[in-house]
Amino acid sequence: MKMLRAWLLRFGGLFNKQCRDHELAAELDSHLQLHIEDNLRAGMKPEEARRQALIKLGGVEQTKEKYRDRRGLPWLESLWQDVRFGLRMLRKNPGFTAVAVLTLALGIGANTAIFTLIDSVMLRPLPVQEPQQLIQITRVVDGQNQALSYPQFSQLTGHMHSISGAFARQRTNAVLTLDGVDEQVTGEIVSGDYFQVLQLNPAAGRLLSPQDDAVQGGSPVAIIGFNFWRRRFAQDPNVLGKAFSVNGQVFTIVGVTPASFTGVVRGQDPDVTFPLAMAEVLWGTGSLWRQEDDHYSLEVMARLQPEASVKIANAELQVLFGGFIRDQASRTHDPDDHKKILLQRAEVLSAPTGINQLRSQYAMPLFVLMGAVTLVLLQACANVASLLLSRSAERQREISVRLALGAGSNRLLRQFLTESAILAFLGGGAGLLLAQWFSRANGGALTLSVKPNINILAFTVIVSLGTCILAGIAPGLHAARADVNSALKEVRVGSRGHWGKVLVVAQLALSMVLLVGANLFITTVLKLYTLDSGFHRDGVLMFGVRSSENYLPVRAVEMEQTLVARLSSLPGVNSASAVQIFPVSGEFWNRPVQVEGYSFGPDDDNTSAYNVVAPGYFDTIGTPLISGRDFNLADTESSPKTAIVNESFARHFFGQNSPLGRHVTYVNVTTQIVGVVRDAKYQDLRAAIVPTMYVPWTQRIGNRQPTMYTYVLQTKAGNPLRFTATVEQLVRDVDPGLRMIQPQTFAAVVDHSIIRERIMAILGGFFGLLALLVAGLGIFGVMAFQVSRRTNEFGVRIALGATHGDIINLVLREVIVMFLFGAGIGSILALVLTNLTRNLLFGFSETDPAAFVLAALTLGMAALLAGYIPARRAMRVDPMVALRHE
């Protein structure tokens, strides 16, 4: 208790110091007077009385100092002194301060933003009970996680003992009619145990249970997501029991998911969740998919039994999966298929953060980003450190005086650390603000909730502190070990500034890496934009349709053809058509084929890419016809089956001969090739062209609905979206049950398909520039210091007849040496790193020197420029002044 009282009083002693100083002086004075009086009474002479009293009192200054120490909190006061001094120093060098704070802010801010992203993508577990018990069951194809088929889901999970429950889910988007209004929502179809396995409690109503998945088509109920409930219904409790319809089927809302739950896949917060039993209704298809071993559409997760582990579950899965594929293989007669089936692999993954889908797509770029950002931050630290070093050399005299007056070297170290702490603190604060901005800018591309949280703040603080120590420790140690004597005598000997140069070389190396990276990423995007995609992206409008009912085949055909005909006769429209899978959609469809006159080897891939198109498609999308003819209205359901193939197909199966007239068979349908078109990208811009065959939409097999197609229009000059309203009306006119959905330009679609690469390019360019700037400043700072250190030397040289050119050469030579070292080290680092990021790049052969050369040139020019200014200062040294200061 007394301690607390003392501390509080001491804290109070920090204030009104002057008043208390007065009081102490008065008390000491009175003490003296009393003593003198006593002495006088004892018979001493006045001067003697005074002298004795003073001696007995002891050192007044020391007493005052000890008193002051006791009165306040000395460590706090000296710290505050350091801070004020530091602030004053920083204010006197506004340029340096601004740059240092800015680069620190950028480094810390970017670091925080990326960490936020990583945290939300990878680190935050699902808001469920015991998330570490959750696992994902996945097929593994080419190192990527792939979905399972329904038979796989039901059979595998039905027999696994190491799990207590499992569920399957699939993403679905639906257009629902609610209160007479149509709206598009994101959705999910889930199996019965979904909410049980996750162990969630509803925010309102109830959640889906296994009964809802028992009878196919028998549970027209739905759960809505909490955010959807808030956004669309303002959390109205009357939403329970509300009905909406999809594709003509009426559903009832029976519950709401809890607030903290945003789905099992990061970035997909489903508005509505449907039972798997209603899948057929929602998709408008038959239930064949439930028997197909190779219709892969379900993502599967499960919860481990308490005593089980991922390893145990995986071992169990391997056994079951082995049995499954053997069974599957035994049902096929085709020996190639047989082999392929037996090669399949499945795996159990720990999945406390949910389905690892977004992860495989974005993990690598995020790590690369984190690496780049760390590099920049290190650079900034090095910069600040070397600038502080340079300034500490300038402040040599001041430091020596302080040391001579009795300052401990610890105190000096603390001074420098305080200065860099202030910088780091300012930088960190600005960095947090920047991080907010960063997240919002990035958030548009990833739709993740990226609000900074306590983890982030703690991370920022730690990073800032680390920065501060890194940046301040070298100058601090250097200052503390200063040689007092020589500095006081103003003899400019001492440190040769090696550390400064080493830091600059390090910076140059880091800059080199970032510049090379920037180069590669930007070039990747440029290459993707300029490659020959095989289609024409400008001026094309695309849209889909949805209907409230399923149409009979005859009616469907009629509607489709009417729609396309009317679209193409619109004024301003060159041509219109339709396609099932539009280019660079990310989707892919292939079928095993038999080609006339070609026999597949045992290990050959016997599939061809496959697509269904309407007449006029190639013209609309800008893919030229090479030979033969396009589909036309003569190709009907009953006319001979036809097909069009691309160049790759022709080359692959027929070599130099023309494929026209030859036959291709798929699924027991034999078609005759009537045309060859130019190669065009299918799944995405990066994938290589594959042999592709197209069939006319009148001759497709299986179910057909107008909703299966994406309709394309080629428009005359101008923004294709200006046709949206017209097209919308036109669609309704064709049939009152039809609605247009998702109108977009093809150009936008293409851009979106390479959004990852575009982000990398933008960020790469930004970091490259940043690195350049920081390195340039570093060089400038160090060279300025070097020049000021060698002023005498320059003075002597000039006096002895050196020309301006000579001096400049002298200075720049140092810069060049540092540059060569830095660029060399940086290039090696860059080579290693680019190998690691190969799958982010596009169009680069093994050792493409262009990027390196360009980066080196840029860096070299920047270095020379940065060194030139101090060089000029060197050449202008007045020999008389310089020599007089010897």
Partner 1 sequence: MVDGKKDVQQGTLALMVLKTLEIIGPLHGYGIARRIEQTSGDLLSVNYGTLYPALLKLEQEGYIASEWGVSDNNRKAKYYKLTRAGRKQLAREARDWEATAAILARFLSPEQQP
Binding segment toward partner 1, per CB under 8 A, in 51-59, 150-158, 532-540, 847-855: 51-59
Please pick, from the candidates 46, 59, 217, 322, the single residue that binds partner 1 as defined by CB under 8 A: 59
Asked if 17 touches partner 1 (CB under 8 A), the answer is no
Please, what is the minimum distance in Å from the beta carbon of residue 5 to partner 1? Answer: 6
Instruction: Compute the least distance from the CB of residue 26 to partner 1, in Å.
Output: 8
Distance, in Å, from the CA atom of 130 to the CA atom of 109, rounded to the nearest integer, reads 33
287 token code pair:
């239930």
Separation CA 323–CA 320 (nearest Å): 5
What DSSP element (H or E) covers 592?
strand 590-595
For residues 745 and 720, the answer to whether their CB atoms sit within 8 Å is yes
71 vs 492, which CB is nearer to partner 1? 71
Q: Which SS3 state, helix, strand or coil, does residue 836 take?
A: helix
Angle (nearest 5°) at CA 269 between 264 and 270: 95
Q: How far is the CB of 34 from partner 1 (least distance, A)?
A: 4
Q: Which of 16, 63, 93, 449 binds partner 1 (CB under 8 A)?
A: 63
CB of 78 to partner 1, least distance (A): 18
CA 810 vs CA 392, 492, 824, 869: distances in Å: 24, 19, 22, 13
| Least distance between partner 1 and beta carbon 23 (Å) | 8
Among 17, 22, 31, 440, binds partner 1 (CB under 8 A): 31
State yes or no: residue 76 binds partner 1 (CB under 8 A).
no
Residue 721 CA to residue 727 CA, distance in Å, equals: 10
Q: Where are the alpha helices (DSSP H) in 128-237?
A: 150-159, 194-198, 226-233
Whichever of 335 and 406 has its CB closer to partner 1, that residue is 406
Between 10 and 232, CB nearer to partner 1: 10
Task: For residue 7, give Cα distances in angstroms to 3, 75, 254, 540.
Answer: 6, 13, 62, 76
Q: Does 657 bind partner 1 (CB under 8 A)?
A: no
CA dihedral in degrees (765, 767, 771, 774; nearest 10)?
120
Among 16, 22, 48, 57, binds partner 1 (CB under 8 A): 57
Specify the residue, 18 or 845, whose C-beta has the smaller distance to partner 1. 18
Beta bridge partners of 188: 171, 273
Q: Can residue 62 be called a binding residue for partner 1 (CB under 8 A)? A: yes
Quick one: 9 or 404, whose CB is closer to partner 1? 9
Please identify, using beta-carbon distances, which residue of 44 and 461 lies nearer to partner 1.
44
Size of the site for partner 1 (CB under 8 A): 29
Distance (Å, rounded) from C-alpha 501 to C-alpha 385? 11
- 67 binds partner 1, rule: CB under 8 A: yes
- CB within 8 A of 300, min separation 6: which ones? 136, 137, 138, 147, 148, 153, 156, 157, 166, 167, 168, 169
CA 272/CA 257 separation, integer angstroms: 10
Please name the residues in contact with 332: beta carbons below 8 A apart, sequence gap of 6 or more: 338, 341
Q: Closest CB to partner 1 among 71 and 566? A: 71
Member of 16, 33, 211, 449 binding partner 1 (CB under 8 A):
33
Q: Is residue 577 a contact partner of residue 613, using CB atoms and an 8 Å limit?
A: yes
Of 20-28, 101-109, 326-334, 864-872, which segment contacts partner 1 by CB under 8 A? Answer: 20-28
| Axis-axis angle for helices 409-446, 396-404 (nearest 10) | 130
Q: Which residue matches tokens 């945003």?
A: 262
Residue 711 region by backbone torsions, left for phi larger than 0, else alpha for psi between -120 and 50, else beta:
beta
Q: To the nearest whole angstrom, how small is the minimum distance from the Cβ of residue 65 to partner 1?
A: 9
Dihedral of CA atoms 361, 367, 369, 372 in degrees, nearest 10, equals -150
Q: Which is nearer to partner 1, 20 or 230 (CB)?
A: 20
Looking at beta carbons only, is 35 or 171 nearer to partner 1? Answer: 35
Query: What residues does 300 pair with on adjacent strands?
Result: 137, 168
Q: How far is the CB of 403 from partner 1 (least distance, A)?
A: 23
- Residue 112: count of CB within 10 angstroms of its CB: 27
Of 22-30, 156-164, 804-812, 835-843, the segment contacting partner 1 by CB under 8 A is 22-30
Indicate whether 50 belongs to the interface with partner 1 (CB under 8 A).
Answer: no
Q: Residue 487 in contact with residue 494, Cβ under 8 Å?
A: yes
How many whole angstroms separate alpha carbon 248 and alpha carbon 177?
Answer: 9
Q: Distance between CA atoms of 112 and 442, rounded to whole angstroms?
A: 13
- In the bound complex, what is the minimum distance in angstroms from residue 227's beta carbon to partner 1? 58
**Nearer Cβ to partner 1 (63/449):** 63
Asked if 40 is part of the footprint of partner 1 (rule: CB under 8 A), the reply reads no
CB of 39 to partner 1, least distance (A): 11
Question: How far is CA 677 from each of CA 22, 293, 628, 640, rounded to the nearest angstrom?
Answer: 99, 33, 9, 20
Beta bridge partners of 348: 137
Contacting residue, 43, 58, 406, 655, with partner 1 by CB under 8 A: 58
Residue from 14, 25, 34, 76 that binds partner 1 (CB under 8 A)? 34
Binding partner 1 by CB under 8 A: which of 50, 51, 71, 700? 71
Q: Enumerate the β-bridge partners of residue 243.
A: 252
Of the pair 54, 370, the CB lying nearest partner 1 is at: 54
Coil/strand/helix, residue 217: coil
Q: Could you give the string, one character per residue 478-517, with x where binding to partner 1 holds by CB under 8 A and - elsewhere?
A: ----------------------------------------
**Of the residues 17, 22, 66, 481, which one makes contact with partner 1 according to CB under 8 A:** 66
If one asks whether residue 10 binds partner 1 (CB under 8 A), the answer comes out as yes
CA angle (449, 453, 457) in 5-degree steps: 135
Q: How far apart are CA 46 and CA 33, in angstroms?
A: 11
Check if the beta carbon of residue 713 is closer than 8 Å to that of residue 549.
no
SS3 20: helix
Contact between 30 and partner 1 per CB under 8 A: yes
For partner 1, give the closer residue by CB, 63 or 132: 63
Instruction: Name which of 71 and 756 has its Cβ closer to partner 1.
Output: 71
| Shortest distance (Å) from residue 414 CB to partner 1 | 25
Q: How do strand 249-256 and strand 204-205 relate by DSSP bridges?
A: antiparallel
Q: How far is the CB of 798 from partner 1 (least distance, A)?
A: 56
Stretch in the footprint of partner 1 (CB under 8 A) among 26-34, 480-488, 591-599, 740-748: 26-34
Q: Does 56 bind partner 1 (CB under 8 A)?
A: yes
Minimum CB distance to partner 1 smaller for 6 or for 755: 6
User: How near is the Cβ of 29 to partner 1 at its closest, in Å?
Assistant: 9
CB closer to partner 1 out of 1 and 554: 1
Q: Does the protein bind partner 1 through residue 2 (CB under 8 A)?
A: yes
Q: How far is the C-alpha of 583 from the C-alpha of 590, rounded, in Å?
A: 14
Does 51 interact with partner 1 (rule: CB under 8 A)?
Answer: no
Q: Note whether 74 binds partner 1 by CB under 8 A.
A: no
The piece of 1-9, 552-560, 589-597, 811-819 that touches partner 1 (CB under 8 A) is 1-9
Task: Report the C-alpha gap between 743 and 728 in whole angstroms.
Answer: 9
| 26 binds partner 1 per the rule CB under 8 A | yes
Member of 22, 45, 46, 69 binding partner 1 (CB under 8 A):
69
Its sign, for the CA torsion 293, 297, 303, 308, is positive
Q: Does the footprint of partner 1 cover residue 37 (CB under 8 A)?
A: yes
Question: Can you read off the two tokens belonging to residue 79?
Answer: 């710290």
Choose the stretch contacting partner 1; rule: CB under 8 A; options: 23-31, 176-184, 384-392, 715-723.
23-31
For 672, the token pair is 């005759």
Residues in touch with partner 1 (CB under 8 A): 2, 5-6, 9-10, 23-24, 26-28, 30-31, 33-35, 37-38, 56-60, 62-63, 66-67, 69-71
